């Protein structure tokens, strides 16, 4: 008979959600098993319209959740896996549920809810669910950077000192316009000129083509431009190497995960935020990081960058300590 792991991690196609849940499971340092959930067309409906029997997931995914040896803890992240966690709680009443981000269902189903401080959400004082607030998104980038061997420097030996430029893309509230791309491009050019070192530029899978075109045409050797959509082997992605080896990190403000991970490195972080950027939660996080002296704004007048230090974010350790002391005993 197959023995279940102590922890199940429910993941789906939302990579950012999945990485947060996996980061917490890894930090707990006990056996965990990833249960990847695949959805049918019903998953597009809001949770309030979906049934409690998980009609929104495919049959084979549901079958994988049936066991005689349920885990002690289930970690879910995002609204879709939250509904799956609620379904499993009915099947296995003794299991404890940890939910990352808003579940969009009754939170009293969960034992622990983890929300970033930029999420304007409150729970009732008599709720059965414990709430932990974090700065930004959970990540275990510190452990990944520590394990990272100097593959990036071996592959790009000329990049002994460089500005790591991480470019995101559109959000629900914001479209990365050509005007913003050109302004950001000019700010990066100034940073290269003032600081006397080249840039290693990496797009994300969300980066619009017009932004890629502007940067690709502007920056040539000794600068390097990397496009993950043109790379068949994900192992070649330089992201972790950039976080470890960059002298300075420059990034766009549109990704909570990217900002949170950069803020966990102790590298000087400079964030470009367009004038008309209108996502409240992203702006809240950027302001938090600025107030904590973790990040500084990147503008056309930034000039010479400073090599400053700060206490890196390690919010996953804080959450894991609570789980170990209160839920794994």
Half-sphere exposure of 199 (CA within 13 A, CB side): 27
Among 8-22, 56-70, 233-247, the minimum mean pLDDT is found in: 233-247
- Are the C-beta atoms of 58 and 69 separated by less than 8 Å? no
Average of pLDDT values for 159-175?
92
Among 11-15, 125-129, 301-305, the minimum mean pLDDT is found in: 125-129
Average of pLDDT values for 152-179?
90
What's the pLDDT band for 149 if we cut at 50, 70, 90?
low
Q: What is the pLDDT of residue 5?
A: 67
- Are the C-beta atoms of 136 and 315 separated by less than 8 Å? yes
0.85 surpassed by pTM: yes
What's the pLDDT band for 154 if we cut at 50, 70, 90?
confident
Whether the per-residue pLDDT at 13 is higher than 80: the answer is yes
Q: Residue 297 burial (CB < 10 Å; 0-12/13-18/19+)?
A: middle
Q: What is the pLDDT of residue 190?
A: 95
Find the angle CA(80)-CA(326)-CA(313) to the nearest 5 degrees: 70
The 3-class secondary structure across the chain, one letter per residue, is CCCCCCEEEEECCCHHHHHHHHHHHHHHCCCEEEEECCECHHHHCCHHHCCCCCCCECHHHHHCCCCCCCCCEEEEECHHHHHHHHHHHHHCCCCEEEEECCCCCCHHHCCEEEEECCCCCCCCCCCCCEEEEECCCCCCHHHHHHHCCCHHHHHCCCCCCCEEEEECCCCCCCCCCHHHHHHHHHHHHHHHHHHCCCEEEEECCCCCHHHHHHHHHHCCCCCEEECHHHCCCHHHCCHHHHHHHCCEEEEECCCHHHHHHHCCCCCCEEEECCCCCCCHHHHHHHHHHHHCCCEEECCCCCCCCCCCCCCCCCHHHHHHHHHHHHCCC
Query: CA–CA separation, 4 vs 1, rounded Å?
Result: 9
Average of pLDDT values for 231-253?
87
Average of pLDDT values for 198-205?
95
Residue tagged 């002690």 (tokens): 72
Find the angle CA(67)-CA(73)-CA(78) to the nearest 5 degrees: 100
Average of pLDDT values for 175-184?
94
Whether the per-residue pLDDT at 205 is higher than 50: the answer is yes
pLDDT tens by residue, 24-41: 999 998 889 999 999 989
How many other CB atoms are found less than 10 A from the CB of residue 293?
11
Nearest to 75 by CA among 329, 328, 325, 256: 328
Query: CA–CA separation, 299 vs 191, rounded Å?
Result: 9
What's the pLDDT band for 1 if we cut at 50, 70, 90?
very low
Domains defined along the chain, listed by start: 7-135+316-326 (3.40.50), 141-297 (3.40.50.2000)
What's the pLDDT band for 77 if we cut at 50, 70, 90?
very high
What's the pLDDT band for 212 if we cut at 50, 70, 90?
very high
Q: What is the pLDDT of residue 234?
A: 66
Mean pLDDT of all residues belonging to the chain: 91
pLDDT tens by residue, 274-292: 988 888 899 999 999 999 9
What's the pLDDT band for 173 if we cut at 50, 70, 90?
confident
Range from 44-48, 121-125, 140-144 that averages highest in pLDDT: 140-144
């Amino acid at each position: 008979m197959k023995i279940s792991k102590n922890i199940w991690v429910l993941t789906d196609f939302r990579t950012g959600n999945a990485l947060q849940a996996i980061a917490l499971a890894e930090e707990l340092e006990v056996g965990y098993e990833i249960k990847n959930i695949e959805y049918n067309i019903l998953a597009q409906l809001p949770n309030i319209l979906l049934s409690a029997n998980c009609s929104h997931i495919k049959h084979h995914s549901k079958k994988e959740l049936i066991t005689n040896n349920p885990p002690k803890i289930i970690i879910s992240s995002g609204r879709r896996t939250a509904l799956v966690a609620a379904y499993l709680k009915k099947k296995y009443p003794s299991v404890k549920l940890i939910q990352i981000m808003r579940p969009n269902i009754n939170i009293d189903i969960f034992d622990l809810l983890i929300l970033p401080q930029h999420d304007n959400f409150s729970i009732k004082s008599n709720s059965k669910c414990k709430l932990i607030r974090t700065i930004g998104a959970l990540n275990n980038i510190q452990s990944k950077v520590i394990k990272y061997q100097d593959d990036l420097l071996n592959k790009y030996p000329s990049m002994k000192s460089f500005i790591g430029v991480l470019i995101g893309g559109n959000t629900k509230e914001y479209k990365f316009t050509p005007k913003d791309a050109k302004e950001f491009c000019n700010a990066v050019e100034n940073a290269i000129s003032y600081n006397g070192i080249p840039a290693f530029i990496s797009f994300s899978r969300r980066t619009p083509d017009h932004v890629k075109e502007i940067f690709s045409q502007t920056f040539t050797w000794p600068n390097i431009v990397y496009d993950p959509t043109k790379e068949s082997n994900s192992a070649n992605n330089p992201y972790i190497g950039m976080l470890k080896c960059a002298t300075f990190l420059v990034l766009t403000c549109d990704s909570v995960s990217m900002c949170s991970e950069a803020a966990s490195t102790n590298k000087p972080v400079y964030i470009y935020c367009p004038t008309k950027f209108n996502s409240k939660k992203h702006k809240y996080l950027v302001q938090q990081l600025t107030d904590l002296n973790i990040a500084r704004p990147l503008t056309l007048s930034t000039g010479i960058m400073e090599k400053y230090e700060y206490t890196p974010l390690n919010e996953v350790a804080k959450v894991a300590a609570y789980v170990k002391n209160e839920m794994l005993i």
